[in-house]
Amino acid sequence: MDQMKFNRLLRAVAVCLGVFLSVSAAAQTSISPEASRAVDDFMTFRMNLASYRRPEDALLAIERYHNEHLSEEALSGFSEQETLILRNFEVLERYNFMREIPSRKEETVDMLKAQYKVLTSWIAARKGEEFNKWLLTTAGDILSCNLSYARVSQILRDGRAVKNYYERALLQDDSMEYALTNLGQWYYYAPAVGGGSKSKAGDFFERAVEGARTDAETYYAKIFLSQYRFEDKKRRHEAAALLSEADSLQPGGFYVAWIRKINEQGYSLFYWNTHNIRTEDDD
C-alpha cells in the first residue's frame, strides 16, 4: 500500500472494521522460491518506478516489465495463487499512475474492477482456505482501492476485510514489511471510534523498518516512518535523515524529491493525502 490512499469512504466505514475472518486448517500459505524471487524483483521494480516524474513514462516502463516478466508465457510455471499475486501487484502499480491521468479515468476504474472480480471470485471458490501472505496483502490493497468506486453495501462488506487481510498476513510473518506498512496506514487514517490509533500506526511503521529484508522494502518503510516522524516537530530531524536514507537506495528519485517539497511547505505525506492538497507539481 506504499502510495495507497485511504479515502473518505474507508474512513467513514472504519467503524465496521475489525470483524474477524475465520481461518481454516486448509491452507495455501506457501509459494515457490521462484515466485518469492519474482515478488522481490517486482518490489525492486516498484521502487525504481518512483524515479519517474511523468505517469506516462512510468506506465511505459510497466508495459516493458510486463512483456518481459509478467506475460502469460513468463508466468506459465507459476501456480494460480502465485500468478494472482503478481497480477495484483501489476494492477496496483498501473492504477497508481493511471489515476494521475484524467483522460484515463474510465479505463483505470474498469481495470481495477476487473481485477477485483478475478480476485474475489478466486477467493470465493476456495472458501475456508488460508492463503499466502502476499496474496492476503495484495488482496487487501485491491479491495481498499476499489472502495473509491464501490456501492455502500460493497463498502461495508469489503471494508471489514481490508484490515483483516493485513493481520492474517502478519500471523504468517510478523516482520513482513509490506503488511506492517499497510496496517500502519490503516491505523493512521482510521478514526479512533473505528479502532484507529496514530500511536499504533507509529509502532507498525517502526516495525516495518526493522523487518525490511531488501532495499525496496527498506525504501518504502523509511519513507512512511519519516512522514510519521515529520508530524512530531521535535523529531523532524529524524524525518529528514530517514528520507535521505531512502533516497540513497533510489538516488535522485522524483518521489522522495516531491515528499521533501511538501515537507518544506509544512505538510506530511499523510496530511497531504487526507486533505488533497495541491502543489505546483500536480498541475
The DSSP annotation for 146-192 comes to HGGG--HHHHHHHHHHHHHHHHHHHHH-TT-HHHHHHHHHHHHHS-G
Longest C-alpha distance within the chain, in Å? 53
165-183 tens-digit pLDDT? 999 999 999 999 999 999 9
Distance CA 95, CA 174 (A): 28
The pLDDT value given to residue 159: 66
The pLDDT value given to residue 274: 86
Distance CA 215, CA 99 (A): 27
pLDDT less than 70: residues of the chain: 1-26, 150-157, 159, 277-283
Are the CB atoms for 79 and 32 separated by under 8 Å? Answer: yes
The pLDDT value given to residue 178: 98
Give which of 160, 204, 198 is closest to 183, Cα–Cα. Answer: 204
Q: What is the pTM of this model?
A: 0.86
The position carrying cell 500468478 is 83
The pLDDT value given to residue 169: 98
The pLDDT value given to residue 272: 93
35-47 tens-digit pLDDT? 999 999 999 999 9
Q: How far is CA 130 from the centre of its chain?
A: 20
Q: ∠184-205-15 over CA atoms, to 5°?
A: 15
